[in-house]
Amino acid sequence: MKEFSEQRLSGRAALVTGSGSGIGRAISLRYAREGANIIVNDINLEGANETAKMIKELGRKAMVIKADVSKSAEVEAMVEKAYKDWGRIDILVNNAGISGIPYLIIEEPEPEWDRVMNTNLKGTWLCSKFVALRMLKQEKKFGPLRGKIINTASIAGKTAFSHIGAYSASKFGVIGLTQVFAKELAPDITVNAICPGFHVTGIYLNSEEVIRESMKQFKSPEILVGRIGKAEDVAPLATFLASNDSDYMTGQAINIDGGVEFH
């Protein structure tokens, strides 16, 4: 069956961090099918180039920028290049993130805590900060807003998960940061978060078996829709939040998890 597309993002420029694989790639490809041109960011250049190739095969433009979102200078340089080459960023998707190594929280080594926080929370702050500073100055080209920011949080940012305490705390932080940015950037920029559940991505070694074992360890509720998620399940929600259909929404954190988390 042909994927439905309304070209809701026609002509827009989207920066998607961590888009060399998984959810970031799925969002990028869906955005391209909806008419957007994509700035592909990842620390894995091979994966980023593969995503860019797939975007170009869909007839859209793609620019690859390698940058570590936890490093201020690299993020600032990435945003500078994007604006220099394309003139604007209409959509920022803060998707880059890591799960970290599982530990009981009282046994978590400080360097591992810092690594997870720096990528997931600090990285979201840095990318949002440097993009928003420019977004606020760009013309309103596609409606009443100057741009949109979409953060990838997690259902582990709604209810704590044991053994991945740093990850869970970082995603609680992403939801809080989403609300702060939503308040401070209104009414020119909307900021919302997506909270995926258990999806077959690199975090789970692209394995349903690993996910099922993880769910047992986390003592997670069942997935009500009866199947483990795919990266592509997240992309339609990300598209809605990037489009004019969601112009009256900001500061929200929306679950996309097959019914695992209800709040």
Q: What is the pLDDT of residues 245-256, one digit of tens each?
A: 999 999 999 999
Active-site residue numbers?
A: 167
pLDDT tens-digit map of 36-75: 999 999 999 999 999 999 999 999 999 999 999 999 999 9
What does residue 22 show for φ and ψ, rounded to 5 degrees? 55, -140
Let me know if residue 2 belongs to a domain. Answer: no
Which distant-in-sequence residues (6+ apart) come within 8 Å of 116 by Cβ? 98, 99, 100, 166, 167, 170
Q: Does the N-terminal peptide bond of residue 111 adopt cis geometry, omega within 30 degrees of 0?
A: no
Let me know if residue 262 belongs to a domain. Answer: no
Written as six digits, the tokens of 128 are 């949002």
Let me know if residue 1 belongs to a domain. Answer: no
Let me know if residue 35 belongs to a domain. Answer: yes
pLDDT tens-digit map of 144-193: 999 999 999 999 999 999 999 999 999 999 999 999 999 999 999 999 99
Amino acid at 180: V
Partners of 93 in beta bridges: 16, 150
Does the predicted TM-score (pTM) go above 0.85?
Answer: yes
Let me know if residue 114 belongs to a domain. Answer: yes
Let me know if residue 18 belongs to a domain. Answer: yes
Let me know if residue 29 belongs to a domain. Answer: yes
Domain that holds residue 34: 13-255
**The CATH number of the domain where 168 resides is what?**
3.40.50.720
CB 146 within 8 A of CB 140: yes
Domain count, the chain: 1
- pLDDT at position 1 is 38
- pLDDT at position 196 is 96
Other C-beta atoms lying within 10 Å of the C-beta of residue 169: 21
Per the model's pLDDT, the better-predicted residue between 157 and 228 turns out to be 157
Let me know if residue 261 belongs to a domain. Answer: no
